Amino acid sequence: MVDQRELRNVFGQFASGVTVITCRNSDGNSHGATVTAFTAVSMEPRLCQITMTKKSKACKYLSGAPFAVNVLAADQVDTAMHFAGRPCNPEPLWAEGPTAPVICGAAATFSCIPWAEYDGGDHVIFIGEIVDAVSSGQPPLIFYRSTFHELGVPSAHVPWNGSCDDPEIGWFAATTSFTPMHLLQAI
């Protein structure tokens, strides 16, 4: 059995973007929480997923409520820390979004309405229907091995850039067949 700290370190091998999930609290005030558990789910319908620990205040506010996923820009480490419980001065700037308050200066923002909610052990899995998505074009903030990073120089070897593993737009049609290498060598 892997202990919790070791498991966290192994999870840390997966680099992820850094988001601040924003919503309104029970008093109607803007609230945010730094989260790295965010992923795209579906293009039709347009869905994304966030995962929040059940212990967080934001988890209580999100149940059945609209929210925004703010993908932080590389220069927003202070914002990430602010919403992780280490307040910064000056505080991050807010703006009114289509469904919930949003963080100014983010690399991208997805405005969502609730779609589904699932028990995820010590977390809750929230699926949001994306009703608006914007990008500033700024590079994102990355979290890897418990440390913030910026994107490096793009790789010159990106063989499947644009493929998206989709037979309609990728390299190979769905009907393409392949001969295993070991059979080709026997010829």
- Is residue 153 packed enough to be buried (19+ CB in 10 Å), middle (13-18) or exposed (0-12)? exposed
Closest of 100, 104, 102 to residue 113, by C-alpha: 100
Domain total of the chain: 1
Residue 176 lies in a domain: no
Residue 117: strand, helix, or coil: strand
Residue 103 lies in a domain: yes
- Over the chain (187 residues), the average pLDDT of each successive run of 10 is 83 84 95 93 95 92 96 96 92 96 98 96 96 96 86 65 57 67 66
Residue 178 lies in a domain: no
Residue 11 lies in a domain: yes
The answer for residues whose C-beta is within 8 angstroms of residue 39's C-beta and 6 or more apart is 48, 49
The predicted pLDDT at position 10 comes to: 81
The predicted pLDDT at position 7 comes to: 83
The predicted pLDDT at position 162 comes to: 56
The predicted pLDDT at position 54 comes to: 94
Task: Look up the domain containing 72 and give its range.
Answer: 4-152
Closest of 110, 40, 128 to residue 68, by C-alpha: 110
Q: Give the domain CATH number at 112.
A: 2.30.110.10
Instruction: Return the ∠ at Cα 171 (arms to 167 and 173), rounded to 5°.
Output: 40
Residue 102 lies in a domain: yes
Closest of 53, 50, 41 to residue 71, by C-alpha: 50
Residue 65 lies in a domain: yes
Residue 74 lies in a domain: yes
Residue 18 lies in a domain: yes
What pTM does this model have?
0.80
